[in-house]
Structure 1
């Protein structure tokens, strides 16, 4: 089992932003030096759900701070919110800065507040993602001597005459992943040979999804590729440890109230936007239903119980888990205490 630290701390306001980002950077360095294999960063804007916003820029900074060989995963970049030429360029540059240790995951996102701020329509996000990814792949594959690439999205158009610069570290492009909550998405990723990212689901459901993914991989790719994709495909969980399971659950329920309140405020700003009413749980369960969220999205308890919960995912075929320790407007001390319990009393059981 591999573990990555997942950075996605919520912010209560501008007075806290600088300290939160500094804390996340410190925690990423501490976790990777302690034995975490990677760092995972996500993309969110304007809502307070993610403080740093730009996962490419933050990853570029952290790449020089963490131990060499640390795997960086973006979970995710949201293609409809990007110019596809600039996105291709960012992917290749970050691949170089991480020494080729990069997986860029893609998903449609869906927060109406974020789409509104970027001037996009969330109702078209899936079609726009598929179209923009086609442009991205064509741009990355283009050679200088090829005919010009004419491209057009719902918002922009252009002509690529030469190639995307820079090139990637040691291949045409960095590795890509599909972030999905569906079996059909898992099969699509397997056929493409992309990594699979998932979250907010229980081991039994993930076991079935991973089987479909593995079957699709094996039908189209060599066994070496299959094993590499299974090694680094990922399930993300929010994690909280305390000295007793009862204390952990009681304390985390207070955090879920704060997260649910923030989500309601966020969506309330754009209640009239098309599709906003249907996007309150774009990655599965929501903290507005705390019992379901605890059951599906989290690993909580004392170290022994968290070890047993991870074993269930390991038995389901999961080899890589991204752990989110700093969330729900935690103080640095609270997040540090939980992460330290994991490093001292859970991590050694899986890494030796």
Structure 2
């Protein structure tokens, strides 16, 4: 099992933004210095669910601050919210800035506030995802002497006469991942030879999904070593709270879920379209608005012994990489620091002992 620190802290307003981003930067360095293998950054806008918003820019800031060899995973970039050629350029530039230690994950997103702010229709998000990915891949594959690439998305169009610049670090483009909550999505991802990102699911369900994904990978032209590498870095994301004593951990967590649920309802209410709230359920799976299900599916909560045991169940299910979120639910820096340091001191060594 390997671990990445997943950075996605919520903010209550502009008075918190700077401090949160400074705390996340410090925690990313601390975690990777202590033995975390990677950093995961996500993309959310306008809703307060993600303080930094631009995961490409933040990854570029973090890359020279963490130790060499740390893997950056974007989980995810949302292609329907981007110009596809600018997105292709950002992927390659970030691949260079991370010295080739990058996996770019894609998903359709779906937050009504984010789509409204970017002038997009969330009801068309899946069609726009496929269309923009096709454009992005065609642009990355184009050589300067190829015929011009005419492209058109739902919102823009253009002509690429030369090529995407810069090139990636040591390949045509960085490797890609798909974030999905469905078995069909896992099969699609495996057939393309991409990495699989998932979240908010229990071990037994993930075990079945990982088997479908591996079967699809093995149906491609990938070598055995390449299949193993895809499985090593495919990821499950969890929110974590580690306390010295398990007593009170669940109560504190439920209090945070209430705050997160209220924030989510305000975000959806700002758009005032019931359809948007309904389709969002299909994107995120369980929600903080349903605390029991969220605790069961999306979280690892307890003392170090309990958290170690919970992680073992995912390891037994075939998961080899977990993206762990320690700063969420409007935590103050001291609380998230205590949880992260307990994990580093008393959980991480159980999974890293004996590494060369």
The 2-side partners of 1:156 and 1:243 are apart by 53
The C-alpha deviation readout for 1:234-255, integer Å capped at 9, x for no partner, is 0000000112223211111110
**Structure 2 CA distance for aligned equivalents of residues 82 and 244 of structure 1:** 45
Query: Counterpart in 2 of 1:227?
Result: 228
| Structure 2 residue matching 1:127: 3-state secondary structure | helix
Q: Which runs of 4+ in 1 moved over 4 A?
A: none
Structure 2 match to 1:208: 208
1:281 Cα offset (Å): 5.5
C-alpha contact (below 8 Å) 2:32/2:66 kept by paired residues? yes
Structure 1 Cα separation of the partners of residues 186 and 57 of structure 2: 28
Aligned length: 352
Aligned 8 A contact 2:240 2:300 in 1:
yes
Task: Kindly indicate whether residue 98 of structure 2 is the aligned counterpart of residue 98 of structure 1.
Answer: yes
Q: 1:148 maps to which residue?
A: 148
Contact 1:92 1:166 in 2 (8 A): yes
Q: 1:273 deviation in Å?
A: 6.9
Stretches of structure 2 that go unaligned for 5 or more consecutive residues are none
Instruction: Give the C-alpha shift of residue 219 in structure 1.
Output: 1.2
- The alignment's TM-score, normalised by the length of structure 1, stands at 0.99
Asked whether the equivalents of residues 111 and 280 of structure 2 are also in contact (C-alpha less than 8 Å), the reply is: yes
SS at 1:150 equivalent: strand
Write the distance in 2 (CA, Å) between the matches of 1:231 and 1:343.
21
Residue deviations 1:171-228 (CA, integer Å, cap 9, x gap):
0100100000001111111110000000000000000000000011111122111000
Equivalent runs, 1:9-28 vs 2, <5 Å:
9-28=9-28
Does the aligned pair in 2 maintain the 1:271–1:277 contact within 8 Å? no
- 2:58 and 2:348 mapped to 1: Cα distance? 25
User: Aligned partners of 2:282 and 2:332: how far apart in 1?
Assistant: 26
Residue 350 of structure 1: aligned partner: 351
Q: CA RMSD in A?
A: 0.8
3-state SS of paired residue (1:282): helix
Q: Is the 8 A contact 2:181 2:283 kept in 1?
A: no
Provide, for residues 88-115 of structure 1, a one-character-per-residue CA deviation record: whole Å limited to 9, x for no partner: 0000000000000000000000000000
> How far apart are the structure 1 equivalents of 2:330 and 2:34?
24
Counterpart-to-counterpart distance in 1, 2:274 and 2:307: 40
2:268 paired residue number: 267
Give the structure-2-normalised TM-score: 0.98
Matched, 1:133 2:133: yes
Indicate if the aligned counterparts of 1:142 and 1:163 stay in contact, CA closer than 8 A: yes
Which whole-Å deviations, capped at 9, do the CAs of 1:96-139 have from their partners, x for residues lacking one?
00000000000000000000000000000000000000000000
**1:4 is matched with which residue?**
4
User: Are the counterparts in 2 of residues 121 and 274 from structure 1 also a CA contact under 8 Å?
Assistant: no
Look up the match of 2:173. 173
* Equivalent in the alignment of 2:317: 316
Structure 1: gaps (5+ residues): none
The offset of 1:274, in angstroms, is 4.9
Q: Counterpart in 1 of 2:32?
A: 32
The secondary structure found in structure 2 opposite 1:269 is helix
**Residue 57 of structure 2 aligns with which residue?**
57
> Once the 2 structures are TM-superposed, how far is the Cα of residue 278 of structure 1 from its aligned partner?
2.9
Distance 2:92 2:103 in 1: 11
1:86 aligns with 2:86: yes
Asked if 2 retains the 8 angstrom alpha-carbon contact of 1:267 and 1:276, the reply is yes
**SS at 2:247's partner residue?**
helix
- 5 Å-filtered alignment, 1:60-71, equals 60-71=60-71
- The residue number in structure 2 matching 1:246 is 247
